[in-house]
Chains A and B, each alone.
Chain A
């Protein structure tokens, strides 16, 4: 494999959350969305590297950070060895000639008030025409510029170019708009194209055509792709290597073929299993992870997937709030809710790190303690095993967990996995 084109090292991107004046005075520290929380990967020249995950996993934030639309909180981004983590405006201008972004929504990426020809010409006016030697020269005349746009349109299959030049975006189909966007990106002769869900908005019958088109462009212009998608099937087809992301972390990364043949991380397995299979004769009962992706402001301790993981261990990161979630889930059954009313309501429980607590006020805490013990015992599993102590302090019941084992990415059978099972 050739040298790395892009290196991302321990990238963190946090967004501050705006809070009201009173809340800020009351304190509670800085509240941040941990959109990307310690991500490292590198992309070799000529490769298609896939970032795959569900909404909110941080994949688009990474894309935006790479082209300087979002500032990295910490970590490094190296492009051909040059540090471009925090580029000054002039460097950023040139970074964007080398790294370009194709967005999901081609319609939103094009100005409705400009013809697509003008929109493309505008890029050339700003950045100049790319020459064979890699230099950029200012266009000599408007006619010269128009010819350059024609060449680009011809290149991306918008033929005859003169016909498309004067079209407005709403006169074109989704696929054609995506071609205009691709043309505008190619006008800069970038080395790396970040394609963020480039086919998600297209209808199924034309999606394949767009993917083929992207692969043709790649071959013709010797491009490298960072392909961002939530669709594991498309990623499997397109990518040489993939990284599966969950809540701001990469959980599994390696050659696409290796991962699809034998996924190791429980989250990767869950994702693969959830894909609907277009074959009614292969219907299977799916075992899905519990609940939903948690909030990225307070990501779960330890492995972020542990509250939903079907094979979690006692050391995976169980903490106070997991007990509260357990009670809530149990009491979805009206029968259990009635029988265990003494331990609730859920709103009176409060979690702080490894501890969950409830102040029972004037009532006797001892029976509540017994009931919680019984509930935990009945539930069993890793959560129960992770509890250090269920005790009473004054009028408060406390459930305390053991701290989790430290989690580091490990090489497992040709890929890297961040999971305590390995």
Chain B
């Protein structure tokens, strides 16, 4: 995927192949600007005018790229739902919570009467543990945790098969974050829903995801099952990222040298080359295609393997 800008094309996401199995959680990790959010939006085609996409997105075997805008609108929320980082900016400050639910339901089923919609909403609200009287409140009257629960409830109305969660807890404090993730986890099982968890937080991925994809400079650097990937990361960037995590056991600080590259214009070679501690001559000239490495269906884009 490429964005046309006055300075030239920005290659936000390049050659990404990613599969999410039914009912599983895939963690998409990377630092700011690596293309993880753009990828999440590309699945739902929630992109600005200047975006150019190539490639296909298949959902349940159906190619979404051939769908009309109207068909996509119906699919969003019904089959694939998305929650965002900041629930305050996603809820309309002038609308009561109940009206958010009525609007969402009627967007897909225009014939549902408001009373029926509210009844449906109350069932979902109980699932996310929000007291029923919150329905009559405005977003600003609710706490941050309640707002994010309501966002989740709005996503659950149509029992989507896939939930794209873009930094769902980044705006929340650590205890609240853990609460919301526990909730998401139980709901996932209850609704048999797959989750694409987009985050910069490796800790969340380790606790939550079945598989992990690490993105760097718009590409997937490494992808594999969570446990083996954390136990033995192959890509030097994944290794660096895992070493740079500061947790309660950290005794020595580490940071990856340098800074991520600009995605403006064409590039050759491995995008991580300038920062890599294991770089070789070939890395500068030839881009490493992602390929299967080892036995646990791990894919790595690195000339070392």
Contact = CB atoms under 8 A, between A and B. Distances in A.
Interface stretch (A73-81, A94-102, A284-292, A407-415): A284-292
A232 B177 CA distance: 14
Contacts of B253: 208, 211-212, 237
Interface string B30-45: 0110000000000000
Interface in B178-236: 178-179, 182, 200-207, 209, 226-227, 230-231
22 contacts: A205-B240, A206-B255, A206-B256, A207-B255, A208-B253, A212-B255, A230-B173, A230-B174, A232-B174, A271-B174, A274-B178, A275-B247, A277-B207, A279-B230, A286-B182, A288-B175, A288-B182, A289-B175, A292-B146, A292-B176, A333-B126, A337-B132
B207 A283 contact: yes
A338 interface: no
Contact of A204 (B31, B132, B182): B31
A275 B206 CA distance: 12
Given A280-B227, A281-B230, A237 B250 contact: yes
B226 A278 contact: no
B22 to A, nearest CB: 21
Contact of A276 (B176, B203, B227): B203
Interface residues of A, number: 47
B28 to A, nearest CB: 15
User: Which 5 pairs, one residue from A and one from B, show the smallest C-beta to C-beta distance?
Assistant: A276-B203, A208-B253, A208-B255, A54-B173, A205-B256
B143 interface: yes
A364 B177 CA distance: 44
A347 interface: yes
Contacts of B126: 332-334
A207 B259 CA distance: 12
A204 B31 CA distance: 7
Given A203-B31, A293-B173, A277 B203 contact: yes
A395 interface: no
Contact of B242 (A234, A278, A289): A278
A278 B260 CA distance: 22
Contacts of B143: 292
B255 A278 contact: no
Given A206-B259, A232-B248, A276-B207, A54 B131 contact: no
B204 A207 contact: no
A366 interface: no
A292 B144 contact: yes
B305 interface: no
Interface in A300-337: 328, 331-334, 337
Nearest to A331: B131
Contact of A278 (B178, B182, B245): B245
B282 interface: no
B245 A236 contact: no
A277 B230 CA distance: 11
A147 interface: no
B133 interface: yes
A280 B203 CA distance: 8
A138 interface: no
A18 to B, nearest CB: 15
Interface in B134-175: 143-146, 173-175
B293 interface: no
Interface in A26-78: 54-55
B106 interface: no
Contacts of B92: none
Contact of A275 (B182, B226, B248, B255): B248
A278 B129 contact: no
In the complex, which of the residues A232, A272, A279, A328 has the most CB atoms of chain B within 10 Å of its own CB atom? A279
A382 interface: no
Contacts of A289: 175
Interface in A221-248: 230-234, 236-237
Contacts of B130: 332
A207 B244 contact: yes
Contacts of A277: 203, 206-207, 247
A292 B143 CA distance: 8
Contacts of A388: none
Interface string B100-118: 0000000000000000000
B131 A274 contact: no
A347 B133 CA distance: 8
Contacts of B203: 275-278
A288 B206 contact: no
B254 interface: yes
Contacts of B178: 274, 276, 286, 288
A173 interface: yes
Contacts of A272: 248
A281 B173 contact: no
B59 to A, nearest CB: 27
A55 B173 contact: yes
A205 B244 contact: yes
A81 to B, nearest CB: 35
Contacts of A212: 253, 255
Interface in A171-223: 173, 175, 203-209, 211-212
Nearest to B207: A276
Contacts of A208: 244, 246, 253-255
B241 interface: yes
A233 B247 contact: yes
Interface in A250-300: 260, 270-272, 274-281, 283, 286, 288-289, 292-293
A107 to B, nearest CB: 12
Nearest to B34: A203
